[in-house]
Amino acid sequence: MISELKKSEYYKCKGLLYELGHLEPKAVIEGANPGRVFVDNGHSPRSGLIWLGNNDGFFFIGDESNKDFNREINVFIDTVIKREALKVGLHWFEGIGNHSKWNTTLKSVFEHRKLGSWKQSVYTLQTGDDNINDELAVENEYRIVKIGEDLLENTNLSIINTEFVRSKILESWASSEKFFRHGIGYCMIYKHQIVSICFSGFVAGNVHGIDIETLEGHQGKKVAQKTALFFVKDCLDNGIVPYWDCMEMNKPSIAVAEKIGFKNIFNYIGFDFRLN
- Segment 70-88 shows an average pLDDT of 97
C-alpha distances in angstroms, 135 versus 72, 109, 228, 243, 265?
52, 48, 11, 20, 24
pLDDT of residue 256: 87
pLDDT category of residue 39 using cuts at 50, 70 and 90: very high
Same domain (yes/no): 58, 146: no
Residue 172 lies in a domain: yes
pLDDT in tens, 199-216: 999 999 999 999 999 998
Percent of the chain with pLDDT over 90: 81
Residue 135 lies in a domain: no
Position 171 pLDDT exceeds 90: yes
Q: What are phi and psi of 213, to 5 degrees?
A: -150, 140
Same domain (yes/no): 101, 150: no
Residues 246, 92: Cα–Cα separation, whole Å: 19
Strands of the 207-214 sheet, one edge to the other: 3-4, 35-39, 47-52, 58-62, 92-97, 263-274, 116-124, 241-247, 207-214, 193-204, 185-190, 142-146
Residue 17 lies in a domain: yes
In total, how many domains does the chain have? Answer: 2
User: How many Cβ atoms are within 10 Å of 197's Cβ, its own excluded?
Assistant: 22
- Segment 172-178 shows an average pLDDT of 95
Same domain (yes/no): 51, 102: yes
Top pLDDT among 139 and 106 is at: 106
Same domain (yes/no): 17, 55: yes
Residue 37 lies in a domain: yes
Residues 74, 59: Cα–Cα separation, whole Å: 15
Lowest mean pLDDT among 47-61, 127-141, 176-190, 193-207: 127-141
Same domain (yes/no): 154, 117: no
- Segment 28-56 shows an average pLDDT of 97
Burial label for 47, CB within 10 Å (0-12, 13-18, 19+), is buried
Range of the domain at 30: 3-121
C-alpha distances in angstroms, 102 versus 66, 69, 274?
11, 13, 20
pLDDT in tens, 246-264: 999 999 889 889 989 999 9
Helix axes 223-237, 251-260, angle to 10 degrees: 50
DSSP 168-191: HHHHHSS-HHHHHHH--EEEEEET
Residues 264, 267: Cα–Cα separation, whole Å: 8
Same domain (yes/no): 106, 21: yes
- Segment 41-65 shows an average pLDDT of 97
Q: What are phi and psi of 24, to 5 degrees?
A: -60, -45
Task: Assign residue 197 the CATH number of its domain.
Answer: 3.40.630.30
User: How many Cβ atoms are within 10 Å of 241's Cβ, its own excluded?
Assistant: 16
pLDDT in tens, 86-112: 999 999 999 999 999 999 999 999 999
Same domain (yes/no): 79, 8: yes
Same domain (yes/no): 46, 153: no
- Segment 3-26 shows an average pLDDT of 97
pLDDT of residue 217: 83
Same domain (yes/no): 151, 243: yes
Pair 125, 241: CB distance under 8 Å: yes
Q: Residue-wise over 53-64: b if at least 16 C-beta within 10 A, else e?
A: bbebbbbbbbbb
Same domain (yes/no): 84, 170: no
Same domain (yes/no): 184, 227: yes
Contacts of 268 (CB under 8 A, 6+ apart): 22, 96, 97, 100, 119, 120, 122
Nearest to 176 by CA among 210, 200, 197: 200
Nearest to 52 by CA among 69, 72, 70, 29: 29
Pair 189, 220: CB distance under 8 Å: no
Residues 93, 271: Cα–Cα separation, whole Å: 8
